[in-house]
Structure 1
Amino acid sequence: MVPGTSIAKGRLLVATPVLDDPNFARTVVYIVEHHDDGALGLVLNRPSYEQLDDPLDRWVDVQSSPPRVFSGGPVEPDALIALARTKQPAVPPDPTTDADEDDEDTYLAPLSGTIASADLAADPALVAGSIDGLRVFRGYAGWSPGQLEMEIGTGSWLVVDSVESDIFTDEPDELWRVVLRRQPGRLGWLAEAPDDLSWN
């Protein structure tokens, strides 16, 4: 774990070179939830060849490049989850007021800063004016209570801060190296680690 950081919603998990699980080798995972029941995240750098089909193809116009469905992780591969970048920091709806079913805030659940979870069942026209990026993921990464902490303790993951461009990068294949290169000191050196550590 990078000094000064902790596992928290909105941060990144970066797989270290020693993590050879094919589901997570060289991945960057955005933490969506972390609590006593475990953790949930989305792999940011595994674009697939899948495109959105009817009726979700209505969202294509607001998808970030590349306009593909990303492989979010091995858990619940039939589930589709969308992250959106809002033009203003998203604010949780006020539970004391009646929500208008056409209110864009109803369909955007704040996660961190301007990053929100978008409801793909909504009409995209209701939120298009308030977002400037959207990424759709199939499946997610999940950890039971204490599992992620154990994996971090064994050196499989680094926990680092995210920037918005990590989620919506148009070069996801480079994201692992990009995130590592901006880390201080020796952590930045990991970006140049070969795919096969025996080459060192």
Structure 2
Amino acid sequence: MSKVVASELKLANHFLIAMPSMLDPVFGGTVIYLCEHNADGALGVIINKPTDMSMDELFERVDLKLEISPSQLLSTTHPVMFGGPVQVERGFVLHSPHGPYSSMMKVTDDIALTTSKDVLEAVAHGDGPRRMLVSLGCSGWGAGQLEDEIARNGWLTVPADPAIIFDLPAQERFAAAMNLLGINPWALSGQVGRA
């Protein structure tokens, strides 16, 4: 098998979908939205692993008071996601681009990643992005590490659909991402074979 190199793959704005053979307790059964992928490595956020913390609780923990009613912001009752094992004490917000935030990385015209508190402050004031997913922690890979995992049949990749991130409940995101590939997730095997 030929080695896949980072220059051959450009996976920013793609979903990584864990294969059934992925038995890792952190990544098994996950869908990750990749925000960045280059020769130095990759960075993404798990989008289907909710924590037991709601957005209301997160706002309380970071000392932000909602200046709008929670009914105006549907996402306040949504769970905060576990984004991955890297920097688990830090918040990562995937959102529709809505203005310049101090630590914002624009991934596409539809999706940005912000790690600064100002995006949550904007939400609390009622002028933040309307579509967002908040996670604690992120997922990261060093140079060549993700490519190696893909070559070993650890992940499927597919161009991302923002509706899966922002519009579906967390428990429906894995099947929806698999459906982008035309695959029934329950028909996959964890076995690898060669013809």
TM range (shorter): 0.7 to 0.9
Match among 129, 145, 148 for residue 146 of structure 2: 148
Match among 57, 70, 74 for residue 81 of structure 2: 70
Secondary structure of 1:48's counterpart equals: strand
Secondary structure of 1:131's counterpart equals: coil
Match among 5, 25, 34 for residue 31 of structure 1: 34
Name the structure 2 match of 1:110: 106
Q: Any stretches of 5+ residues in structure 2 without a counterpart?
A: none
Question: What RMSD, in angstroms, separates the aligned Cα atoms of the two structures?
Answer: 3.0
1:30-109 pair list within 5 angstroms: 30-51=33-54, 52=58, 53-56=61-64, 58=66, 62=73, 64=75, 67-86=78-97, 104-107=99-102, 108-109=104-105
1:157-196 pair list within 5 angstroms: 157-184=155-182, 188-189=183-184, 191-193=185-187
CA spacing shift, 1:33–1:14, aligned 2, 3 Å = same
Q: Deviations over 1:8-55 (max 9, x none)?
A: 211110111111111111100000111222111100000111131242
Determine if contact 1:47/1:68 at 8 Å carries over to the other structure: yes
Secondary structure of 1:25's counterpart equals: coil
* Offset at residue 129 of structure 1 (A): 4.0
Secondary structure of 1:49's counterpart equals: strand
* Offset at residue 111 of structure 1 (A): 1.3
CA spacing shift, 1:66–1:165, aligned 2, 3 Å = farther
Secondary structure of 1:112's counterpart equals: coil
State how far apart, in whole Å, the 1-side matches of 2:164 and 2:16 are: 12
State how far apart, in whole Å, the 1-side matches of 2:81 and 2:91 are: 10
CA spacing shift, 1:20–1:118, aligned 2, 3 Å = same
Report the number of matched residues: 174
Secondary structure of 2:34's counterpart equals: strand
Determine if contact 1:48/1:69 at 8 Å carries over to the other structure: yes
State how far apart, in whole Å, the 1-side matches of 2:83 and 2:65 are: 19
Name the structure 2 match of 1:135: 133
Give the TM-score normalised by structure 2.
0.76
Q: Deviations over 1:72-113 (max 9, x none)?
A: 0011111111111247xxxxxxxxxxxxxxxx3245542112
Name the structure 2 match of 1:11: 14
State how far apart, in whole Å, the 2-side matches of 1:77 and 1:7 are: 26
State how far apart, in whole Å, the 2-side matches of 1:34 and 1:127 are: 33
Give the TM-score normalised by structure 1.
0.74
Secondary structure of 2:164's counterpart equals: helix
Determine if contact 2:15/2:177 at 8 Å carries over to the other structure: no
Question: What is the identity, as a one-letter code, of the residue corresponding to 1:68?
Answer: P
